[in-house]
Chain A
Amino acid sequence: MKKEVLLEVKDVKKVFPLSTSWFAEKKYVRAVDGVSFTINKGETFGLVGESGCGKSTTGRLVNGLIKVDEGEVNYKGNDLANISEKEWKKYRKPMQMIFQDPYASLSPRMKIKDILMEPLTIHFPKMSSSEKQSIVKELLGKCGISEYHLEKYPHEFSGGQRQRIGIARSLILKPELIIADEPVSALDVSIQSQILNLMKDLQEEYELTYLFISHDLSVVEHISDRVGVMYLGSLVEVASKQAIFKEPKHPYTKALLSSIPQPDPKVKREQIVLQGDIPSASNPPAGCKFHTRCPLAMDICKKEVAQLQQVAEDQQVACHLY
């Protein structure tokens, strides 16, 4: 069965200047350094990696909150990388975002009602207030928040409830693609599963496609269909969930997976502990960026960058071992 590609990210790059002074030596952080992946309609693509590896930046590049330096972001075949803010408005409807920090992502001085009605006000200026309210109420109910909360302000809610409100806001415009930037990492574990299940339910009901960004592998395993592993601004492995979690190929993926705590202490397992820190993105190592910490590094790794290549059906790895 041929799947319909919804989003195709092609060799996207983004550098941030470190100093803006005229006289200082120009230094850049290569936040995203040639990332490519595709997301099919209706699936969940998980993007994992350590803090600072560029996964959130990738998310923001996809929905244009940050401008792409190089590369293409194709949404349904239209390149969004170089369009103006005005043209973007058209895509702000089918593409929505859920943010990491539910305490900061809702305007503190607006009522829930106004926060949720705002997307409709922006995109359907002629819609009547009662019509907007009924849409808001329906979605809020689906997200597990009762109607009588509409008149309240964000600070009157718990983190989990706020994230539900954030999810409701992202659904108001009936989007196709939702970029979820660490939607559960600010929440308690018990609330995390509720939110993840809610996202799954909503995905079925509204045929949503998720770009799910997280540093938590167990969360990604729970929700994703396909997974991309990022290290220092590049993807090192892209594969189906089964492949990643059963047969990880890249040494970094293996190390990440071995760091997931196991509930049973009797299970013997090989733990790969990476040595050293993640190198600075302003001065990344030459060759394969992972070679400084890779237990299997070879000579070629120091010289040549490994490109993503197909090693199995629906599994791509950027490593010289394959």
Chain B
Amino acid sequence: MSDVQTEIMPEGAVSMKEGKLSNFWKDFRKKKPALISFYFIILLFIITLIGPYIVPYDPAAPDYNKVLESPSLQHLFGTDSFGRDILSRLAVGARISLTVSISAVLLGALVGTFLGLISGFFGKWVDRAIMRVCDVLFAFPDLILAIGIVAILGPGLKNVVIAVAFFSIPSFARIVRSATLETKEMLFVEATRSIGASNKRMIWKHIFPETVPTIIVYFTMKVGTAILAAASLSFLGLGAEPSSPDWGAMLSNSRDYIDSSFHLVFFPGLIIFLTVLAFNLLGDGLRDVLDPKTKD
């Protein structure tokens, strides 16, 4: 029995992956703010990779002849209280900020996704237990929680990663849980159960892929928050060492000069602001394209 319809589009062998990606790109390109943010973030990543090799000055070498110079052609962003070039320091510091925030969110997303899947899929007391713990964590403001954790573990970038990851867990758990609850009720999950699939298979092969777009969107937005949190912790002296070119630490070191040398605070602040904004706008754009349901 040959079906007419099956013979339509024999050349439809366009790889699905390609088709999906090009579709995504076509939609995404229309989101101008997100697109610009995307390029900005790409630029940041490039700087992260090659920054240390192309910066005009050694970010750590003091130059006591050029202390607190205003922006000029030689030092585009000026110099700090030790005569170090701020542009070079920001470029090198991008590595610290991005590494810390992305690894923290990645860690939080891993644990949160796992908890969310378990919680949403099994429901009942598992769900209640996990969600109540998350509620407790939610009750603390993010930064206060992070400060508390760093206070327990001691200052340092590694502990900042742990602290930021820790406060990302409940929000990932909750968002993945709701996506799981929705997917769990879908017919194809029931269909997989009717052929005898184990819970593990249903979760990982069928439910998890459905939650990925939500996770990607949320991940992007959370990176912005994490950059801010990491900078705040460094500003408070709980993160990076004061001498390192971390953005938050730079802000912290320069706050004494806010009256006399405005550029010292301005440029680190600006770069933090732009980076966080870029991640948030990118997240918004990705959400509109990947996960339009969750739009508020």
Contact = CB atoms under 8 A, between A and B. Distances in A.
Interface in A239-280: none
B16 to A, nearest CB: 5
A158 interface: yes
B3 to A, nearest CB: 4
A307 B186 CA distance: 37
A122 B206 CA distance: 14
B74 interface: no
B192 A107 contact: yes
B191 A123 contact: no
A92 B1 contact: no
A148 interface: yes
A65 interface: yes
A109 interface: yes
B257 interface: no
Contact of B191 (A88, A106, A146, A197): A106
10 contacts: A89-B196, A92-B196, A96-B194, A97-B194, A105-B191, A122-B197, A122-B198, A148-B13, A151-B16, A197-B1
Nearest to B209: A109
A130 to B, nearest CB: 21
B144 interface: no
Interface in A60-107: 63, 65, 88-89, 92-93, 96-97, 99-101, 104-107
Interface in B204-257: 205-206, 209-210
Contacts of A122: 195-198, 201
A247 to B, nearest CB: 34
What does DSSP make chain B's interface, helix, strand, loop or mixed?
helix
Given A106-B188, A107-B209, A161-B6, 14 more contacts: A92-B195, A97-B194, A99-B191, A104-B187, A105-B191, A109-B209, A110-B205, A110-B206, A122-B197, A122-B198, A144-B3, A149-B6, A161-B3, A169-B191
Nearest to A169: B195
A119 interface: yes
A119 B1 contact: no
A255 B98 CA distance: 71
B10 interface: yes
A222 interface: no
B190 interface: yes
A63 B201 contact: no
Q: Find the residue from B3, B190, B193, B209 having the highest chain A CB count within 10 A.
A: B3
What bracket does the count of chain B residues touching chain A fall in?
Answer: 20 to 34
B206 A107 contact: yes
B260 interface: no
Nearest to B193: A65
Given A101-B187, A160-B3, A151 B13 contact: yes
Contacts of B206: 107, 110
Q: Find the residue from B12, B187, B190, B201 having the highest chain A CB count within 10 A.
A: B187
Interface residues of A, number: 43
B123 to A, nearest CB: 11
B72 interface: no
B187 A99 contact: yes
Contacts of B186: 104
Interface of A: 63, 65, 88-89, 92-93, 96-97, 99-101, 104-111, 118-119, 122-123, 144-146, 148-149, 151-153, 156, 158, 160-161, 164, 166, 169, 173, 194, 197-198, 201
A35 B139 CA distance: 51
A143 to B, nearest CB: 9
B5 interface: yes
B62 to A, nearest CB: 55
Q: Find the residue from B5, B10, B194, B205 having the highest chain A CB count within 10 A.
A: B194
A144 B2 contact: yes
Contacts of A146: 6-7
Contacts of A164: 3
Contacts of A65: 190, 193-194
A96 B209 CA distance: 25
Contacts of A110: 205-206, 209
A194 B1 contact: yes
Contact of A201 (B1, B196, B197, B210): B1
A109 B204 CA distance: 12
A144 B195 contact: no
Q: Find the residue from A100, A107, A148, A152 having the highest chain B CB count within 10 A.
A: A107
A104 B196 contact: no
B117 to A, nearest CB: 15
Contact of A96 (B5, B6, B187, B195): B195
B54 to A, nearest CB: 41
A145 B15 CA distance: 18
Contact of A118 (B7, B15, B192): B192
